Amino acid sequence: MKLQVCKRQAFTRLPKCVWIFLFFILFILVLFIMNTLEFQNEMKTISIFSRPAAVTLSTDMHYDFCKLKPLSPTEAQEEHLLLESITWPETPHLPFPLSLEKTSDPAQSTFTILPKRGGGQWRIGDKLEVLINMKDFQGRPKKFGGDVLLARLHSPTIGAGVAGKVVDHLNGSYTAIFFLLWKGSAQVQVTLVHPSEAVMELRRLNREHPDRIFFKSVFQSGSLTETTTCNICLRPTQKPLCNYTDLHTGEPWFCYKPDNLSCDARMNYFNGGYQQNITTMEKLFQSGVNLKVSIGASGPAGVTIFPKMKGQLEEKSGSEESGPSGYYYQDVWRGLGGTKIRQFNTSSAITQCLKGKVVHMYGDSTIRQWFEHLTATLPDLKEFDLNSEKQAGPFIALNYTNNIMVKYRCHGPPLRSTTVPAIELHYIANEIDNMVGGSKTVVVLGIWAHFATFPLEFYIRRMLSIRRAVVRLLSRAPDTLVVIRTGNPKSLTCFLHSSTNSDWYTLQQLKVLKAIFKGLNVHLVNAWEMVIAHHLPQELHPQPPIIKNMINVLLSYICPEKDG
């Protein structure tokens, strides 16, 4: 009977039961829309997704487009302290259009060797101080700090050299400090890498254009292929994103989703190019003008060093705070304050050291150099052809007779290399976590050059992830040897080189790396000092004599000199 009443009134006015039904449908629809919006909002944040890749909808046009890995409260505090510890001095803003008049001019700047405290002759064990005074292109003294300076004391005739520590007094003057470690004549060399004004531009680029080197991936299914841009810093568009955040480490990586293919169809990864027209400050990066230019002396540029006197008090060196990690003498690197550096001058000596060892090398092409040096030096260490891409690897070399295995694998993205199959993109932390470890295991790490264009937080978080894996490895296998190669200064001749591989970026990374791994049972190969101190030109990939010395440091950690 109730149904009949509803039918009779349907053509005149809606009955109460229909209104209730419509209200119920509307309520369900509102809940559905709210849940959908909430889900999409959650998808915009960094989450850990298992493969196959999830799709992240990119609808918010105002968020920070670099999606960094989340940190625990403890790690966030550590990151804050790290960033505070490497804060660079501020520089007054430059007028537009740019004029070099008030910027640092190495041609008019000078350095002065200060007299020895207490007077007398310079002797081995003394500490030499050099005052650097910076002037602008109008010849006026600079009133603030922030210039990037490198200092070296060297004796070319005997193949000796040591890096100096540069102290910024924040008033346009600097002090370079050297430990005197050999006798004879020695020359001071001071180089302006960047004026302080250029550093401000480098900072701006990492803040506003962290995507200036962009990466791409090819997606393929059957005969259909599409190519999209990938990065952790993808500018927001209406296109959805493929989220390749690593399930285990939480390391983020994203690609714009192809229009007609699934995120699971990703085949490879490669360097997509470099953004143009991102600065109006090219004048700050001129070779021979204000980029990697030597500064002259206002008086004598060298000193004569005499042997140490009996009973002479010696300045301490070899610690991170007080002195260099080592120096060259007769073109051979000698360590200070730590492991004695042995010389492995024959293939048989190297083979004997590596006998029974598995050496895992992870990192960029500067670590690949070490792999290539060993395979070129050791005739019985035969590379097994994995048909890998020449730059990225993975590579493996074997010496069956002496039970030696040396492996190399590039680190996970970002990588500015040629095409790498997507399946070969491995994160170092995952590789370490899959390792048994032990007294026959050597782990060699070197990760720095491909991170220069990103916010420093990205590098810090990658290093923290690797540190956690190293701590786990040393907990389960304490006798595993872990060696880390630092970054090194390199040739810079123009704005492009500076904006992608500046020594200032590397110096910041070096400070962070040392702080993050301080106190752990890991060993550093200080490539930064080893390149500065050597007479050969500074290059991204150091020349063979420097690499040979680095390998000697590595082998000295593997096979330390026995007491007695």
Tens digits of per-residue pLDDT, 300-357?
Answer: 999 999 999 877 666 655 444 568 999 999 999 999 988 999 999 999 999 999 999 9
- Number of domains forming the structure of the chain: 3
Q: What is the CATH number of the domain that holds 404?
A: 3.40.50.1110
Average pLDDT score over residue span 476-490: 98
Within-domain flag for 399: yes
pLDDT value for 59: 34
Mean per-residue pLDDT of the chain: 90
Q: State percent of the chain over pLDDT 90.
A: 81
Pick the residue with more confidence: 27 or 178?
Answer: 178
- Looking at the structure, tell me whether residues 148 and 270 fall in a common domain: no
pLDDT value for 49: 37
pLDDT value for 408: 97
- Looking at the structure, tell me whether residues 380 and 451 fall in a common domain: yes
* pLDDT category of residue 434 using cuts at 50, 70 and 90: very high
- Looking at the structure, tell me whether residues 528 and 504 fall in a common domain: yes
CA distance 24 to 31: 11
Residue 510 in tokens:
């070096």
Within-domain flag for 10: no
CA distance 527 to 507: 11
- Looking at the structure, tell me whether residues 110 and 256 fall in a common domain: no
Within-domain flag for 79: no
- Looking at the structure, tell me whether residues 393 and 517 fall in a common domain: yes
CA distance 264 to 266: 6
Within-domain flag for 266: yes
Say which range, 119-123, 324-328, 364-368, 417-421, has the weakest mean pLDDT.
417-421
DSSP letters spanning 56-96: E----SSS-SB-PPP--HHHHHHHHHHHHHTPPPP-PPPPS
Residue type at position 423: I
- Looking at the structure, tell me whether residues 261 and 190 fall in a common domain: no
- Looking at the structure, tell me whether residues 426 and 294 fall in a common domain: no
Tens digits of per-residue pLDDT, 484-528?
Answer: 999 999 999 999 999 999 999 999 999 999 999 999 999 999 999
- Looking at the structure, tell me whether residues 224 and 249 fall in a common domain: yes
Q: State percent of the chain over pLDDT 70.
A: 86
Q: What is the CATH number of the domain that holds 301?
A: 2.60.40.10
* Angle made by CA atoms 338, 341, 346, in degrees to the nearest 5: 160
Q: Could you give the dihedral angle defined by the CA atoms of residues 525, 530, 536 and 539, in that order, rounded to the nearest 10 degrees?
A: 60
Average pLDDT score over residue span 269-297: 96
Phi-psi region of 102 (alpha: psi -120 to 50; beta: other; left: phi over 0): alpha
* pLDDT category of residue 58 using cuts at 50, 70 and 90: very low
pLDDT value for 96: 85
Within-domain flag for 408: yes
Average pLDDT score over residue span 376-390: 93
Predicted confidence (pLDDT) at residue 9 exceeds the cutoff of 60: no
* pLDDT category of residue 393 using cuts at 50, 70 and 90: confident
Task: Answer whether 373's CB lies under 8 Å from 547's CB.
Answer: yes
pLDDT value for 454: 95
* pLDDT category of residue 387 using cuts at 50, 70 and 90: confident
Within-domain flag for 369: yes
- Looking at the structure, tell me whether residues 495 and 370 fall in a common domain: yes
Task: Answer whether 431's CB lies under 8 Å from 283's CB.
Answer: no
- Looking at the structure, tell me whether residues 257 and 219 fall in a common domain: yes
* Domain boundaries, position 407: 342-558
CA distance 428 to 406: 16
Residue 312 in tokens:
């002479």
Residue 150 in tokens:
């490198």
Within-domain flag for 110: yes
**Which single residue is written with the structure tokens 């007299």?**
115
- Looking at the structure, tell me whether residues 244 and 349 fall in a common domain: no
Say which range, 13-22, 228-237, 263-272, 300-309, has the weakest mean pLDDT.
13-22
User: Going by C-beta distance under 8 Å and a sequence separation of 6 or more, which residues neighbour residue 133?
Assistant: 109, 110, 111, 112, 141, 172, 173, 298
pLDDT value for 533: 98
Predicted confidence (pLDDT) at residue 57 exceeds the cutoff of 50: no
- Looking at the structure, tell me whether residues 299 and 364 fall in a common domain: no
Tens digits of per-residue pLDDT, 261-279?
Answer: 999 999 999 999 999 999 9
Within-domain flag for 133: yes
Threshold 0.85, pTM exceeds: yes
Tens digits of per-residue pLDDT, 551-561?
Answer: 999 999 999 99
